[in-house]
């Protein structure tokens, strides 16, 4: 016990083997040599990231000189050019663009919302949800019906007719991982309009998806599912504080009239691109490991934590391999996916082309959970590879990477899912993420340089280990 703790405390050089897989033929001393070598290489990766890292300046450039990058926008188009050029500058062996058509939704004029309460006009911070239709040009006004969940909304029936339905389900703040709280609420935002549109509701307003009480509306995607176009209704998010107040005011005056106006529009699909670059593998050129994030962002902030950080960290994985003269066995491919936020068209097209071209993907890693301090990885893989990745806990623990658990990976690499592919999601600390998520507050100044760089190094370290050890040469299911 004491020794083990010393190992953890002093990190890096231990006598423990990290490979205990019983089918592996390596002797204990070989495994121990590997452990030492890996421990040193990981330390080198972290040292390079923390002293020569470029991700922070790349992110400054992307967020300050381009800014938001909603699919189909000028910002998105500029970011494709930016990404292609940067990949070339970093020195990838080849860089190319994958054309893809993307949804093109535009917000239009700044939205307006208000209601009268006790003779006073209350202005409400509001924004249209991505994909929503506009209100009529003079807005809509109706009585409010408040619900706290999708299930409650499903039971509204005729009661919703002619009303604005107010989805006010709040995050469960007792959940330590804030993504779980998001998961418990986001159905209101995505599906609310389709549920109550059927009942003849006039519109939908949704409490913003965030842990705290703030004055920012947090946007995000919504869809109309399979309801007829005639039943489409405008949908918007209001700030969490406005939601709290509205709920209180409704208790005093259940008949208050809520007004909102938005002029957003779904335009025809627009041309865009995934940006792809790679370092060729020296042994298995035809076997590919993908590392990526998404280049597009919502329009309200600068797309810093969502997902500028994932973009620059992914590229920094390649940069750190080059800086440390690590020659991967397999081909390492960096992908800046387009349109994760409202369509996943880039990811879908990437996976389609991979299949069409008969490419062999053995692993994929996504960073799309913000740029905060590292916590670990979630793994979606067969048992053998999942256990392999979890056997690296001791190697990674000195860098704060303790949470290495089975779980989902990421939206953009999800379409590559297959029994032979090891999908991994990078998991930084989640506490602050939804303070900024999809809001005007998702800006460069919220990103900490060291936290960002530690993330790049965490990702490069697991890619280094996956490249070296991943089991990929045998079909596991006949």
- Should residue 406 be labelled a site residue for a copy of itself when binding is judged by CB under 8 A? yes
The minimum distance between CB 321 and a copy of itself, in angstroms, equals 18
167 contacts 152 by C-beta, under 8 angstroms: no
Query: Among the candidate windows 31-39, 63-71, 254-262, 445-453, which touches a copy of itself by CB under 8 A?
Result: 445-453
Which residues ranging from 190 to 219 are in contact with a copy of itself (CB under 8 A)?
211-212
Q: What are the helix (H) ranges across 198-333?
A: 240-252, 309-323
Which residues ranging from 7 to 66 are in contact with a copy of itself (CB under 8 A)?
8-9, 46-47, 50-51
Q: Which of 216, 364, 369, 407 is nearest to 300 (CA)?
A: 216
Cα separation, 23 vs 469, whole angstroms: 13
DSSP notation for 268-307: EEEEEEEEEEEE--SSEEEEEEEEEEES---SSS--IIII
Q: How far is CA 356 from CA 180, 291, 360, in A?
A: 35, 20, 11
The minimum distance between CB 278 and a copy of itself, in angstroms, equals 29
Query: Among the candidate windows 90-98, 200-208, 297-305, 393-401, which touches a copy of itself by CB under 8 A?
Result: 393-401
Query: Residues 420-439 vs a copy of itself: string with x where CB under 8 A?
Result: ---------x-xx--x----
Q: Which of 310, 315, 237 is nearest to 279 (CA)?
A: 315
- Should residue 187 be labelled a site residue for a copy of itself when binding is judged by CB under 8 A? no
The minimum distance between CB 430 and a copy of itself, in angstroms, equals 9
- Should residue 173 be labelled a site residue for a copy of itself when binding is judged by CB under 8 A? yes
Cα separation, 291 vs 320, whole angstroms: 13
- Should residue 380 be labelled a site residue for a copy of itself when binding is judged by CB under 8 A? no
Q: Which is nearer to a copy of itself, 70 or 401 (CB)?
A: 401
Q: Which is nearer to a copy of itself, 1 or 478 (CB)?
A: 1
Extract the tokens encoding 15: 């006598």
353 contacts 98 by C-beta, under 8 angstroms: yes
Q: Which of 97, 98, 100, 62 is nearest to 343 (CA)?
A: 100
∠ CA 214-220-222 to the nearest 5 degrees? 130
- Should residue 157 be labelled a site residue for a copy of itself when binding is judged by CB under 8 A? no
Q: Which is nearer to a copy of itself, 284 or 373 (CB)?
A: 373
Q: Which is nearer to a copy of itself, 5 or 158 (CB)?
A: 5
- Should residue 454 be labelled a site residue for a copy of itself when binding is judged by CB under 8 A? yes
- Should residue 226 be labelled a site residue for a copy of itself when binding is judged by CB under 8 A? no
Query: Among the candidate windows 94-102, 335-343, 403-411, 459-467, which touches a copy of itself by CB under 8 A?
Result: 403-411
Q: Which is nearer to a copy of itself, 348 or 382 (CB)?
A: 382
- Should residue 316 be labelled a site residue for a copy of itself when binding is judged by CB under 8 A? no
Extract the tokens encoding 409: 């990976």
- Should residue 98 be labelled a site residue for a copy of itself when binding is judged by CB under 8 A? no
- Should residue 356 be labelled a site residue for a copy of itself when binding is judged by CB under 8 A? no
Dihedral-angle region of residue 20 (phi above 0 means left; psi in -120 to 50 means alpha; beta otherwise): alpha
223 contacts 186 by C-beta, under 8 angstroms: no
Cα separation, 345 vs 272, whole angstroms: 10
In angstroms, the first-to-last Cα distance of the chain is 43
Contact residues for a copy of itself, defined by CB under 8 A? 1-2, 5, 8-9, 46-47, 50-51, 173-174, 176, 178, 211-212, 372-373, 375, 387, 390, 397-400, 402, 405-407, 429, 431-432, 435, 448-451, 454
């Amino acid at each position: 016990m004491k020794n083990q703790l010393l190992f953890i405390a002093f990190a890096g050089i231990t006598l423990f083997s990290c490979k205990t897989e019983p089918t592996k033929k390596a002797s204990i001393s070989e495994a121990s040599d590997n452990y030492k070598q890996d421990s040193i290489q990981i330390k080198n990766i972290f040292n390079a990231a923390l002293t020569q890292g470029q991700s922070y300046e790349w992110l400054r450039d992307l967020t300050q000189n381009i800014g938001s990058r909603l699919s189909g926008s000028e910002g998105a188009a500029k970011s494709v050019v930016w990404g292609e050029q940067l990949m070339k500058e970093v020195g990838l062996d080849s860089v190319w663009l994958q054309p893809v058509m993307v949804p093109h939704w535009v917000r239009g004029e700044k939205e307006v919302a208000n209601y009268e309460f006790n003779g006073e006009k209350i202005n409400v911070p509001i924004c249209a949800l991505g994909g929503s239709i506009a209100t009529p040009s003079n807005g809509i006004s109706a009585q409010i019906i408040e619900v706290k969940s999708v299930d409650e909304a499903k039971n509204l029936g005729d009661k919703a007719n002619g009303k604005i339905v107010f989805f006010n389900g709040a995050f469960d703040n007792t959940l330590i991982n804030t993504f779980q709280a998001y998961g418990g609420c986001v159905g209101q935002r995505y599906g609310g309009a389709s549920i109550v549109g059927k009942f003849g509701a006039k519109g939908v307003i949704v409490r913003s998806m965030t842990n705290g009480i703030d004055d920012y509306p947090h946007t995000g995607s919504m869809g109309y599912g399979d309801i007829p176009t005639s039943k489409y209704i405008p949908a918007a998010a209001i700030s969490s504080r406005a939601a709290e107040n509205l709920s209180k005011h409704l208790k005093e005056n259940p008949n208050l009239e809520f007004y909102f106006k938005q002029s957003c529009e779904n335009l025809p699909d627009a041309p865009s691109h995934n940006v792809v670059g790679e370092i060729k593998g020296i042994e298995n050129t035809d076997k590919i490991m993908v590392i990526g994030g998404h280049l597009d962002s919502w329009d309200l902030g600068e797309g810093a934590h969502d997902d500028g950080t994932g973009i620059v960290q992914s590229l920094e994985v390649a940069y750190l391999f080059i800086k440390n003269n690590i020659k991967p066995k397999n081909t390492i491919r960096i992908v800046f996916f387009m349109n994760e936020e409202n369509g996943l068209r880039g990811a879908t097209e990437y996976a389609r082309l991979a299949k069409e071209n008969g490419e062999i993907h053995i692993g994929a890693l996504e960073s799309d959970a913000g740029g905060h301090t590292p916590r670990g990885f979630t793994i979606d893989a067969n048992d053998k590879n999942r256990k392999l990745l979890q056997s690296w806990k001791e190697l990674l623990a000195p860098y704060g990477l303790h949470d290495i658990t089975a779980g989902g990976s990421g939206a953009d690499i999800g379409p590559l899912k297959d029994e032979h592919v090891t999908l991994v999601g990078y998991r930084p600390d989640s506490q602050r993420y939804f303070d900024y998520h999809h809001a005007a507050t998702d800006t460069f100044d919220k990103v900490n340089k060291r936290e960002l760089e530690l993330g790049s190094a965490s990702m490069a370290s697991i890619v280094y280990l996956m490249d070296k050890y991943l089991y990929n040469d045998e079909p596991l299911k006949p």
